[in-house]
Chains A and B, each alone.
Chain A
């Protein structure tokens, strides 16, 4: 048996943990730079607040309905996520953390201990709620994909109370029959459009397709999904999440940037982020996309993107920074009010099986990068940085509605009335 445990509107729920005054109020959380709404708590959901809509468009509506609006408090979410995952881990000996608020569990040999999966699911919910004050939904199924479907049912479909179990044909057909094919794990938006044209509307419709034929029309991934929907487990944890094939770091500026030095600083900072991500997953980049643009909502939209190819694949922040230095004069244009910029590492190679080159010597300094990573891991992510990274602070994230960092800063710990 598999289970997927995930938090209900995690960011919004996390905001309520240390602020009991908003527990019974509608709460929404904004993305980076307070741009869009990215989390809507169940109470706010009743107001039909759309997700991923720009904040400024909904400002008056939210005010009218007394909705509590918060900036993303990543420090708080990271801490609460770790606590939640540790609590969930108590219920299985095989846990796979899929994202900040989702965790798969695999139960082997539990049939003798657990007689009633439904009750077990409620026990997990109760325990996580009591110890972290984060509400979670739990879905059980004989495969990872079915447990994800059950989780969807537990939270979104009528007739479920936060826990759903697929453990026989009736429950499988019941849940898959009510589920849109686009909500099936691994079915993207584009594929679901195509499937619907073919008359495949629900998850059950998809499960009933011949897997081999669908493989020819679509991909081996969809074949596996169909098999999983029929109860044949074919995904292992390693396949659940593959190494990223591209790594990006992009962000819009808190305020517009017009000078070349600020733009260069921001791009260099993205170099640091991207190269750190690459080192973490043991990859090297052969090509780097470097881009910057003004706001598409303004007149004279300006965008420049360059692809820099390295002679030898690299994951060194200083090598990346040099690439920025080379192209910055071509990207920058005086008078342009830059709104966003970023770096993308494309064409990644495995650092383990890297093909060395006789004529081009690598400029990477792995020892230096290792030292940098270790210091930053230990003392905070910006303790050491490349000098050209921070000549400006204007690219810092805008978080005007940030809640206190209750669990990571002494000055922010909650006040308890005595």
Chain B
């Protein structure tokens, strides 16, 4: 944080807040979490195959379509007509789950597979308030 090193002075008329000169823009979660706003969308996770990497059912997934995909990325793909979140094993052509109950899926020739974007962040709502609940459903 950049702070301007000027001593705070009280004005002659009235008593100004000494913090007034230090005021900056508030922190924005958008700025922190969304790198490419035009190429990003938010989805909601459903299912428990990714719990090993900390993605639980009901979490918000921030999906970035601008990032270059790398081996081992957590991705969202159009897999046979639905959005699916998996770990991409580029070398072996596998969609790997982060759960021992879900075996890896081999992408076969007849499958529809289209990379939709990289899950760059996920957001957990640990305590679901009434407001959040009414927003989401």
Contact = CB atoms under 8 A, between A and B. Distances in A.
Interface in B115-129: 116
Q: How large is the interface on A (under 10, 10 to 19, 20 to 34, 35 or more residues)?
A: 20 to 34
A417 B47 contact: yes
Contacts, number: 81
Interface in A114-156: 130-133
B83 A20 contact: yes
A86 B65 CA distance: 14
Interface string A60-96: 0000000000000000000000110011000000000
A311 interface: no
B49 A21 contact: no
A413 B39 contact: no
Nearest to A414: B43
A418 interface: yes
Contact of B114 (A20, A86, A406): A20
B135 A411 contact: yes
Contact of B39 (A23, A87, A407): A87
A416 B83 contact: yes
Residue among A21, A417, A418 with the most chain B CB within 10 A?
A: A418
Contact of A415 (B38, B43, B50, B116): B43
B43 A130 contact: no
Interface in A355-381: none
Q: Which of A20, A133, A407 has the most chain B CB within a 10 Å cutoff?
A: A20
B36 A416 contact: no
B39 A83 contact: yes
Q: Which of B41, B65, B66, B137 has the most CB of A within 10 A?
A: B41
Contacts of A418: 45-50, 55, 57, 84-85
A416 B86 CA distance: 10
A82 B38 CA distance: 8
Given A21-B82, A132-B65, A416 B45 contact: yes
Contacts of A86: 38
B46 A131 contact: no
Nearest to A407: B41
